[in-house]
Amino acid sequence: VMNQTQKKVLRIIEDLKEHLSYLKLFGFQEIPVEIPSLENFKNDVSKKPLTNMSLTLSEIKEELGDCRRCKLFSTRTHIVFGVGNKNADIVFVGEGPGQEEDKQGVPFVGMAGQKLTDIIEKGMGLKRSDVYICNIVKCRPPNNRDPEKDEIDACSSFLEKQIKAINPKVIVALGKPASSTLLGRNVAITRERGTWHSFQGYQVMLTFHPAYLLRFYTNENRRLVWEDMKKALSAILTISNQSKKK
Ligand code: URA
């Protein structure tokens, strides 16, 4: 017969096995773990639980203010903070506002935005207002050039705070700049899309940017993005079922 401790160990091993096979099922090639940065260690004198440390979206917006932390402020019309459900299960992260987004102050409202909205609504069967949508930089880079490193660095703490405020089940990184920013390394999107990664303990699915899809509108690319979104949906369902069991 097993004693209590042996039973406990056995249960832990079974849970771990279940967890690992679930990760494998969803195409994980890495085990997502939260790696606390040195910064967090240094600042962690208050011993406050993480949930109390996250600001609300309106507090983050207030902190951003009339931001002049990088050079993009001088050419922008509006700051494009983000839009959607503050309790979303899924956060889509794009690159930066385009012309139409800069004009309206809302992310993904131009042509690429219509494509993203179709992916969310016609494809995934969600409403655009169910999800949260934002970008790695909140101001439009002139002529839609890629955001530069100093611009991303000035803005990325706000993205991180937004994600922690929403506390989603899954993040979808749209295209190379968003993927590279979240993963902190140079991502080859055509090779790495469809795979899971992690950002601050959150599961990140990489996929093509909807603007790329518009430019190279092939059945193959559409199928690949759909495959990626199916993985994101399954992960949300699995996580929801797991937390119900507990
Ligand atoms: N492309 C992006 O990456 N973000 C937007 O908000 C619009 C277009």
Average pLDDT on 35-51 reads 35
The stretches of 109-207 forming alpha helices (DSSP H) are 111-118, 149-166, 175-183, 189-192
In this predicted structure, what is the pLDDT of residue 241?
84
The angle subtended at Cα 148 by Cα 147 and Cα 151, nearest 5°, is 85
Confidence of residue 25 (pLDDT cuts 50, 70, 90): low
* CA–CA separation, 64 and 230 (whole Å): 34
Q: From the alpha carbon of 94, which atom of ligand 1 is closest?
A: 3
Residue 117 C-alpha to ligand 1 middle, in angstroms? 12
Average pLDDT on 165-194 reads 98
Checking if the pLDDT of 37 tops 60, the result is: no
Residue 24 C-alpha to ligand 1 middle, in angstroms? 31
- Give 1 or 190, the one with higher predicted confidence: 190
CB-based contacts of 131: which residues, under 8 Å, 6+ apart?
84, 85, 88, 89, 90, 91, 92, 120
Confidence of residue 53 (pLDDT cuts 50, 70, 90): confident
In this predicted structure, what is the pLDDT of residue 47?
31
CB 38 within 8 A of CB 144: no
Q: From the alpha carbon of 135, which atom of ligand 1 is closest?
A: 4
Please provide the average confidence, as pLDDT, over all residues in the chain: 89
Average pLDDT on 202-210 reads 98
For ligand 1, say whether the CB of 81 is within 6 Å of any of its atoms: no
CB-based contacts of 32: which residues, under 8 Å, 6+ apart?
23, 196, 197, 198, 201, 202, 203
Residue 78 C-alpha to ligand 1 middle, in angstroms? 14
Residue type for 81, please?
Answer: F
Confidence of residue 21 (pLDDT cuts 50, 70, 90): confident
Confidence of residue 28 (pLDDT cuts 50, 70, 90): low
Average pLDDT on 159-180 reads 98
In this predicted structure, what is the pLDDT of residue 220?
95
**pTM for the whole structure:** 0.80
CB-based contacts of 20: which residues, under 8 Å, 6+ apart?
31
Checking if the pLDDT of 103 tops 50, the result is: yes
- Give 1 or 112, the one with higher predicted confidence: 112
For ligand 1, say whether the CB of 113 is within 6 Å of any of its atoms: yes
The tokens describing 59, both together, are: 């507090």
Checking if the pLDDT of 39 tops 50, the result is: no
CB-based contacts of 55: which residues, under 8 Å, 6+ apart?
63, 161, 164, 165
